Amino acid sequence: MHYRILFLLLIFVSQPSIAASFNCNKASAPIEHAICDNADLDAADSLLSQRYNALRKSLSNSEVKTLKQEQRQWLKQRLKQCAIDNITCLVNVYQSRIADFDSRLGMNSVSGLSAQTASRHINDFVPAGYKILDMAEGDLNRDQYNDVVLILAQDNEQGEALRPLLILIRDANSQLHLAARNDHVVLCVECGGMLGDPYQRTAIKNGYFTVEHHGGSSWRWTKYITFKYVPKKSNWYIHKVSNQSYHSAEPDNIEESIQTAKQLGYVSFKDYQNEW
């Protein structure tokens, strides 16, 4: 069984699930097997699914219909651009599609702001010498407004440089405010070993958010860190840390460990230290 499916099932027991692009247990087409067997393509497919769903929510019914037709056509065309075994080419095709969706999400912001204003407002939270590594949108404090998890990296990132994670909360006037920051959640660019940068994505669902990592070489590992919003405290606390490891030659032989708040303690987001 592919690690992504097992891991998602384990992580979100007792909380809302965050769906992956598709179930690798039911993979049948060659492209589906390619996605499930390659970490980079797997990550690109998951991120594309996230961006597609975000864009779909920002459109009218007629626009959604057009988007679905467009996406079906793109799915057919992707293999005309790359051979099924050319993973680098496929990842580039996915990244190009993700960039297209990101651009369109700016033009269809759920906040109602123009793309220029929205971009400028996000950039207000980026310190000098830093760039945006990733951004995820969703309801972080269960008030029905679309908030933002912003992950930053140094402009010339290398080694074990810290990667700040910012929680930005949106108010009723569509303005974002910094609620919390932690520089010790997202793993460094070289922390993934031979597989490279371990950071995969951040997923948000109904007051929960999860930071996903994957790395290793022959021995592969995954680490998902989940935080939960606690209304009585108006703050986020560690909910669960899930680790898995397996050898690439034996992907079904998975070792796993899950630590919940009971073992980790009542640790707030800003005080959490990612032990590595």
Q: Where are the domains of the chain?
A: 1-108, 112-276
Burial class (CB in 10 A: 0-12, 13-18, 19+), 36: buried
**What is the rounded distance in angstroms from the CA atom of residue 185 to the CA atom of residue 224?**
10
Q: Which residue has the higher pLDDT, 108 or 238?
A: 238
Q: Which residue has the higher pLDDT, 100 or 210?
A: 210
pLDDT given for residue 96 in this prediction: 83
Burial class (CB in 10 A: 0-12, 13-18, 19+), 108: middle
pLDDT given for residue 41 in this prediction: 85
Chain segment 181-194, per-residue pLDDT in tens: 999 999 999 999 88
- Fill in the amino acid letter for 120: R
